[in-house]
Chains A and B, each alone.
Chain A
Amino acid sequence: MIYDRVTIKLLEGLCHKPPKFQNGVKIVLLLLLYQMKLAVNFLTIGLVILSLPCGSYTEIPPKPPGSVTVLPPVKPAGGPQAFPDAENSNLPVFTMDYARIQVPFEVTLWVLLASFAKIGFHVYHKITFWVPESCLLISIGLIVGAIMHSVHEEPPAVLSYNVFFLFMLPPIVLESGYFMPTRPFFENVGTVLWFAVVGTLWNSIGIGMSLYAVCQIEAFEVQDINLQENMLFAAIISAVDPVAVLSVFEDVSVNEQLYIVVFGECLFNDAVTVVLYNMFIFVADMPVVEPVDVFLGVARFFVVGLGGMGFGVIFGFVASFTTRFTSNVREIEPLFIFMYSYLAYLVAELFSISSIMAIVTCALTMKYYVEENVSQRSCTTIRHVVKMLGTISETLIFFFLGVVTITTEHEWNWGYIMFTLLLALVWRGLGVLVLTQIINPFRTIPFNFKDQFILGYGGLRGAISFALVFTLPDSIGRKKLFVTTTICMIMFTVFIQGISIRPLIEFINVRRTNRNLETINVEIHSRLIEHTIAGVEDLCGQWSHYYWKDKFLKFNNRILRKILIRDNRAESSIVALYKKLELQNAMEILDTVSGDINAGSSIVSLQYVYPLCPSSSCSFSLSLSLSLSLSLSLSLSLSFAFSLACSPSLSFSLSVSHSLAPSLACSLSLSLSLSLSLALSCSLSLILLLSLSLALPLLLALSLSHSLALSFALSLSLSLPLSLSLSLSLSLSLSLSLCTNDTHTLWPCPSLCVSLCPPCCLSYTSLHLIHPSSLTHYPFNLNRSDGYLSNTSRRVGIWSIYQG
């Protein structure tokens, strides 16, 4: 009853607003009625549910680094009903204020979509085994970009210079700084810095100079790019980002020295690149560059780098010192880590010194003291959140890269692009060869040729390069060409080198190290070896990093630990390992006794939670609620989109719904594909799906066969080897976005879609009812179980009412 009243009200409201499309609107509105019913019915719950991802999201990043959300102060929850329309004389029963929540809402959806994509990749483990995740993310981004392009949609203008440098970059570098393996790093610190600093300088100067030479060739028509701009561009594309390579390295456990050099290089080379980038941006504006400026530039380079380190160390110590006193406020312990590292970043940014250096050194400095001070749980939280924020940020950038590739205008210049690719490869290869020749005599274990080859070949370009080039100021004349070239470079390296590096490593048989040894004998003998070496070094009067290590340890134990650590009890690593093994042992015994107690998972959750094993123990209520939340949020947002599209005179413009629709559609498609691949294990849902996937595209194709865009989408989706489900959902989502956009030309489609939507939602729901266990782990880790269950039961209650 109330729904009817509401919808009528709504119809009235809508009907006198759009004077232009009366005819079409009326037809659609009738059909919308269903949709609205659904929407209004679930508006309240829907909000709760919508805020579930958002809520948990804002809950996780306790801090500014978490501000992947573009406007952190605007809370997504809160809701449309807050402000009644002033024009209405009556009390409005249903109002919407999309503009208010737009930015966080869209960002949340993007993040959610990217995360779904990630879950989706891991459903079938072999995909991520052979193809790096970044490739998959870019591919999904390309698909989304294609959809957006086909509806003439601009990508959201989220990635600006400030957003990138203030919100996206810090989590990425914090993650790598925090998870830097310290012992190998300090053992190889010279080599790491040598490759990162000198290597990057070598690359950017070499590529820049030779590109400038290439620009002089008249045939390429790029003479207007001057030396400064070339240098700027070269600096951008010499930022290597071998996340994909590192994960391969970890899988095949390549030798430690190679691993740490690649890891450290990617970390510090970001710092160098950003310094160069800022410097060259400044220089690119200068009409004439005097020799003095070159010297000033070199001086600035050192000031910036060392200054960043200084700030990092200071903030690291302050953070450690603070955690000394947090024993009574365990809840906010992790906060300090993020606060201080972000503060270090911001302060460094304030003085325009290297903020990456600051945050990395801050993380390195505080890590050990902090982890000793905080409780085990806080430690876990810190690690998870650091990892999560970094991953989200990077995922978004890769994803965005895919979208931008399709949606922006490109300036294609064969000569420039090909030469860039070639020069980047050549200079990288040369650089590695030359630099290893210089550094090898100083190393205990020199790099052999295989190592050098992998080192050179692993120079993938990635997120940082893209973000840097995308946020170039518009004053750079050939920005479009630079963007295009960088995208080509990234695509080339990520796809070709990224995919081929695993077979290559296996083929040329690079030296490997077994990195996960956890036996007490090994630990004892590692210490024994270390002490023996130190002793023999003393004996023969030589000293190496073991000497400095001893020296630092002495200082550390005498002064630093006393100041920074609350409970200063020295404990040998052998004892620590012993305790850990004992604990593991005890846990195993506990596990075998009590079966799969859920409590165990919360303690052992330090490891990655591997997505989804559709275990029988997955409680039905959880899955029910999740499926509900998904389908409800979908239906709600669909109804949003429709109402927005159909009423152009509402306060927000059409473009709002446009930018909304593709992301919605994609999240829908992804969730669907996810559920589909899961459903393979269940015959019931398989039948259901088959019928769905057969029937829906047929219907859609019939109704939309005249639309070019659809055939494009269909061919696209068919050519994709992802799965049948993706094709279904793609075509569905495409048609949906088509509907929301071309309201004038394609009137039958919305009607069809709208009429299809409620049954679709229902069928999704039923799908999710069966197999949503995959999705459970994210939000649920964050909610306390009791609160969560009560929530669930409430939702279930409402659901049953609706069905009844």
Chain B
Amino acid sequence: MGALQSLPDEPEYRDLSEKTGFSFEQIGILHKRFKQLSHNEDTLRRDDLNTIPDLSCNPIRTQIIEAFFDKRNFHQNGEGTVQEISFEEFLVVMSHFRPPALDMTEEQREIIRREKLRFLFNMHDTDNDGTITLEEYRHVVEELLSRSGALGKETAKGIADAAMLEVASISMGHMEPDEFYEGITFEHFLKILKDIEIETRMNIRFLNMDTTNLCKKINSQQDHYLQVNGEQKIA
């Protein structure tokens, strides 16, 4: 279905495929989705994404949407944000979530790792100054915990502070009392998350099948993210 429709566009897809590593089928399906989201326009706006019903319950919805409009994620060394993105940019952002190939060398693995972590780092670093400041970190933690109901902002703040302290102690070692930890740089970010196997975790299995129809049905169900809490039950 999706694959068949994509046949006419093949030369264009070849470029995209080389650039992002997706297969033609995957690009076809994603393209269809893109059209669906953008209401058959060539570009996608924030409002289009904000209206996705599934997403509306995600606690870090704004960060995720912002990431799609962030030039830093387009592999073009740009900075700042854009108002609308084309399909190519959409694909490039998506390609951060491509699962790693089966046979990777250590170097490739490291590159993928850095890319994925950079994506996360950019989600934190909203003002694009290369460090995650305490304020920025607090903001993310607050958002993360915003679904846990009764928890006040104070708890989130406390946790963010503790986390920041942890980063400081891991990356700086012993600090004098009057020293001030500026914020998490990308190097420190790599260091604290070195144990997390991001290359095997931050993946989406992009299907080769078209599931848009199924998704429509499911999309009608609101209120996806009820409470973050239950995850602990599962996790």
Give chain A's interface residues, CB within 8 Å of chain B: 182-183, 186, 255, 257, 368, 443-446, 448, 513-514, 517, 519-522, 524-544, 547, 549-550, 552-554, 556-558, 561, 569-576, 578, 581
Q: Which of B103, B155, B215 contacts A541 (CB 8 A)?
A: B215
Q: Which of B55, B149, B231 contacts A539 (CB 8 A)?
A: B55
B197 touches A513 (CB 8 A): yes
Q: Interface centre among A186, A368, A575, by most B CB within 10 Å?
A: A575
Least Cβ–Cβ distance between B224 and chain A, in angstroms: 5
A553 touches B227 (CB 8 A): yes
Least Cβ–Cβ distance between A448 and chain B, in angstroms: 6
- B54 in the interface (beta carbon within 8 A): yes
A533 nearest in chain B by CB position: B204
Least Cβ–Cβ distance between B44 and chain A, in angstroms: 10
In B118-168, which residues have CB < 8 Å from any A CB? 120, 123, 140-141, 144-145, 148-151, 155, 158-159, 162-163, 166-167
A183 touching B235 in the complex, CB below 8 Å, given contacts A529-B198, A572-B151? yes
A522 touching B195 in the complex, CB below 8 Å, given contacts A544-B205, A553-B234, A572-B232? yes
Binary A-proximity of B154-195 (CB < 8 A = 1, otherwise 0)? 010011001100110010000000000000000000001101
**Residues on A with beta carbons closer than 8 Å to the beta carbon of B234:** 182-183, 186, 549, 552-553
Least Cβ–Cβ distance between B152 and chain A, in angstroms: 11
B103 nearest in chain A by CB position: A448
Least Cβ–Cβ distance between A158 and chain B, in angstroms: 40
A573 nearest in chain B by CB position: B232
A371 nearest in chain B by CB position: B233
Q: Which of B150, B166, B198 contacts A569 (CB 8 A)?
A: B150
Bound together, the chains give a CA A511 to CA B162 distance in angstroms of 32
- B45 in the interface (beta carbon within 8 A): no
Bound together, the chains give a CA A255 to CA B103 distance in angstroms of 16
A522 touches B205 (CB 8 A): no
Binary A-proximity of B183-222 (CB < 8 A = 1, otherwise 0)? 0000000001101111011111111000110010010000
A554 touches B226 (CB 8 A): yes
B149 touches A570 (CB 8 A): yes
9 nearest interchain CB pairs?
A573-B232, A553-B230, A570-B229, A538-B54, A535-B64, A541-B33, A514-B195, A444-B205, A183-B235
A512 nearest in chain B by CB position: B197
Q: How large is the interface on B (under 10, 10 to 19, 20 to 34, 35 or more residues)?
A: 35 or more
Bound together, the chains give a CA A525 to CA B195 distance in angstroms of 11
Q: Which of A445, A541, A557, A574 contacts B159 (CB 8 A)?
A: A574
B148 touches A570 (CB 8 A): yes
Additional 17 contacts, C-beta under 8 A, given A531-B64, A535-B60, A541-B215? A445-B99, A446-B102, A448-B102, A525-B120, A526-B201, A528-B144, A532-B60, A533-B97, A533-B202, A536-B97, A538-B224, A539-B49, A550-B225, A552-B234, A553-B226, A554-B226, A573-B229
B55 touches A540 (CB 8 A): no
Give chain B's interface residues, CB within 8 Å of chain A: 29-30, 33, 36-37, 49, 52, 54-55, 58-61, 63-64, 67-68, 94, 97, 99-100, 102-103, 120, 123, 140-141, 144-145, 148-151, 155, 158-159, 162-163, 166-167, 170, 192-193, 195-198, 200-207, 211-212, 215, 218, 223-235
Least Cβ–Cβ distance between B68 and chain A, in angstroms: 8
B233 touches A556 (CB 8 A): yes
A517 touches B196 (CB 8 A): yes
Q: Which of A514, A530, A538 contacts B52 (CB 8 A)?
A: A538
Least Cβ–Cβ distance between B108 and chain A, in angstroms: 14
Sampled A-B contacts (9; CB under 8 Å):
A445-B200, A513-B197, A514-B197, A535-B58, A540-B204, A542-B204, A573-B232, A574-B145, A578-B162
B123 touches A539 (CB 8 A): no
A521 touches B193 (CB 8 A): yes
Least Cβ–Cβ distance between B70 and chain A, in angstroms: 13
B163 touches A524 (CB 8 A): yes
B145 touches A536 (CB 8 A): no
B231 touches A527 (CB 8 A): yes
B148 touches A572 (CB 8 A): yes
**Residues on B with beta carbons closer than 8 Å to the beta carbon of A573:** 228-229, 231-232, 235
Bound together, the chains give a CA A574 to CA B229 distance in angstroms of 9
A542 nearest in chain B by CB position: B207
Bound together, the chains give a CA A182 to CA B234 distance in angstroms of 6
A534 touches B58 (CB 8 A): yes
**Residues on B with beta carbons closer than 8 Å to the beta carbon of A255:** 197, 200
B60 touches A528 (CB 8 A): yes
A447 nearest in chain B by CB position: B102
B224 touches A532 (CB 8 A): no
Bound together, the chains give a CA A531 to CA B201 distance in angstroms of 12
Least Cβ–Cβ distance between B67 and chain A, in angstroms: 8
Q: Which of B29, B58, B211 contacts A531 (CB 8 A)?
A: B58
B141 nearest in chain A by CB position: A524
B32 nearest in chain A by CB position: A541
**Residues on B with beta carbons closer than 8 Å to the beta carbon of A538:** 52, 54-55, 58, 224
B207 nearest in chain A by CB position: A542
A531 touches B59 (CB 8 A): yes
Bound together, the chains give a CA A726 to CA B227 distance in angstroms of 59
Q: Interface centre among A445, A535, A571, A575, by most B CB within 10 Å?
A: A535
A448 nearest in chain B by CB position: B102
Bound together, the chains give a CA A352 to CA B144 distance in angstroms of 48
Bound together, the chains give a CA A182 to CA B232 distance in angstroms of 10
Bound together, the chains give a CA A549 to CA B224 distance in angstroms of 10
B104 nearest in chain A by CB position: A448
Q: Interface centre among A517, A529, A574, by most B CB within 10 Å?
A: A574
A536 touching B159 in the complex, CB below 8 Å, given contacts A445-B99, A531-B60? no
B159 touches A520 (CB 8 A): yes
Bound together, the chains give a CA A557 to CA B162 distance in angstroms of 28
Least Cβ–Cβ distance between B90 and chain A, in angstroms: 9
B64 touches A517 (CB 8 A): no
**Residues on B with beta carbons closer than 8 Å to the beta carbon of A531:** 58-60, 64, 144, 225
Least Cβ–Cβ distance between A568 and chain B, in angstroms: 10
Least Cβ–Cβ distance between B75 and chain A, in angstroms: 17
**Residues on B with beta carbons closer than 8 Å to the beta carbon of A534:** 58, 224-225
B64 touches A536 (CB 8 A): yes
A557 touching B202 in the complex, CB below 8 Å, given contacts A521-B166, A521-B167, A539-B49? no
**Residues on B with beta carbons closer than 8 Å to the beta carbon of A443:** 205
A576 touching B97 in the complex, CB below 8 Å, given contacts A541-B211, A557-B226? no
B232 nearest in chain A by CB position: A573
**Residues on A with beta carbons closer than 8 Å to the beta carbon of B225:** 531, 534, 550
Least Cβ–Cβ distance between B153 and chain A, in angstroms: 13
A530 touches B231 (CB 8 A): yes
Bound together, the chains give a CA A305 to CA B230 distance in angstroms of 28
**Residues on B with beta carbons closer than 8 Å to the beta carbon of A550:** 224-225
B216 nearest in chain A by CB position: A541
**Residues on A with beta carbons closer than 8 Å to the beta carbon of B163:** 520-521, 524
Least Cβ–Cβ distance between A572 and chain B, in angstroms: 5
A532 touches B206 (CB 8 A): no
B231 touches A532 (CB 8 A): no
Least Cβ–Cβ distance between B85 and chain A, in angstroms: 12
**Residues on B with beta carbons closer than 8 Å to the beta carbon of A445:** 99-100, 200, 203
